[in-house]
Structure 1
């Protein structure tokens, strides 16, 4: 794992393509990825920017959610981890890392496509952590569909139920518990601004997330709650080998000006900033962490 804090050339700080050919069944397993992704397990150092905060993070077992959970714990927050039941082993690893920092971790397996699950995880977080200060709506589905001739309504339904519906379900459930100074952060994507043709369904959902951030930020700031988003570029997470064809995996990230894919740990500082009081004058914003690709 790289040293995140030593001055160095960012183009070579993490692995560059070509990557070995690889494929997995969804939702994917970080331990089967080559090269291994860096979530900050040994590389992220906290500076106490989230003292005593209580956070709920979806998709917290792997990828960006895992990196955010590790960073939040090292910044002083207790963390509730939402994930699919089949991702239990990876989620338990994250919980151990959180507890190693002296913070509380609670495990919340379930399916975000079920409205009641969204409500239940908010209630459980509040009950077990004593409140809720930070909500990170991060989990996502990313099917690849090469042609409109292959479009299926069921695929679009799944993408919207995973990527869009929880924004409304979870925020409605959480808002009565969020005090002034609380933060909501949603994960959009470069695909929401510059879509790839084979990711049309995913891109539509990610554009929707960006617009949800801007609209909901204006609603909730009256209560002192800030809503913002992060738009990652190509990030080395299990979504890639699970949903992207092998031939594209080998060159994954090379289209960026920086010339490589991002690592999950490189996203964590943006989520920490948006959750902390340091970003008190930032709302309705979608921060690009894209290796130089522009949001248009």
Structure 2
């Protein structure tokens, strides 16, 4: 594996939700704190930034063009870059304490997004699925379903390579959960702990003064063609590789103490991209 390279010279304050757009050959991600969607032509070294009215937690490409964007209070659709944000669904959570965070589309085209409970003192984060497909049984009108709950910081959403498993992490509790999944019926069952990472040692400091004492906690994730789960380890300066059985079978050191989410990209999907927090 070749070494890490910086895609662009500009830093993101809180980079998240990267995806490779195969039709545009561009890399997209969000900068949550800057309230921006960013896209980069990695071959030309050019970057565009789109200012938004609130923090974008995650994004995904829409089948007919444009983007689906989860903002603090709901999920929106923009048909063009920089275009009007049309609400697809709003939610009952309190936007003063809760916002959307990690999310992506499943293999059948439904958009999933989890929330973060910002006081971080209770398990009030949820995982939702939004189905706007023409054949969704509701005439293409948005259907929202609650898929999981009882987390503090919802992260690590991913789907098994065989579309039979849903993964979702709670960063605060260092745990990745899994469910068996009937993708066509969108039914989850047999909830279990997929992998439990060790807790942060008492007195550990994020400045990296003793990096060997802590290996990080799970943030965003991606699944490869072999079904392995690759998860960015916040404050661990690494990406952990978990087998479909939940065993840690590899680890890649990264040049950022606070990596946030990996994704596979490039024409052959053989390039691993990674977002991070800018000051880490």
Q: Give your verdict on TM over 0.5.
A: no
User: RCO higher in 1 or 2 (8 Å CA, sep ≥ 6)?
Assistant: 1
TM-score (norm. length: structure 2): 0.32
- In the superposition, the TM-score normalised over structure 1's length comes to 0.31
Structure 1 or 2: more helix by fraction:
1
